[in-house]
Amino acid sequence: MALVRACALRELAAESALSVEVGRDDVAVVRSGDRIYAIADECSHAAIPLSEGDVGDGEIECYLHGSRFDLTTGQPLGLPATEPVAVYRVEVEGDDVYVDLDARPDAPTN
């Protein structure tokens, strides 16, 4: 398990995303409702940072063409994106938000 500290919980405003470099990955750490999510910070349609999009109801919207992504599954909820983006398991301990780099779908298994 590769839990890496991503940011402080207090840095995440309600219904917002923060772009964080975690290890070698660009991750959007997102607060929506009472949950914290982590999702690859790159739209699957083009190389646009998802962290700059609007957040709401467990979804994030790409600002360029408007595809929305489910923050739990990474699946696109509307065109033009058709491919999912990677999601990461998140742990919150006190004011620290950790991202599990081994929990992303493309992590090597051994």
Which positions lie near ligand FES, rule CB under 6 A? 43, 45-46, 48, 62, 64-65, 67, 80-81
What distance in Å separates the CA atoms of residue 101 and residue 110, rounded to the nearest whole number? 14
| Least separation in angstroms between CB 50 and ligand FES | 8
User: From the CB of 83, what's the least distance to ligand FES, in Å?
Assistant: 11
For the CB of residue 109, give the shortest distance to ligand FES in the complex, in Å.
29
Q: From the CB of 44, what's the least distance to ligand FES, in Å?
A: 7
- For residues 38 and 27, give the distance between their C-alpha atoms in angstroms, rounded to a whole number: 6
What single string gives the DSSP state of each residue in 46-90? SS--GGGSEEETTEEE-TTT--EEETTT--B-STT--S---EEEE
Please say which residue, 51 or 67, places its beta carbon nearer to ligand FES.
67
CA distances (Å), origin 42, targets 10, 27, 28, 53, 87? 23, 8, 8, 11, 11
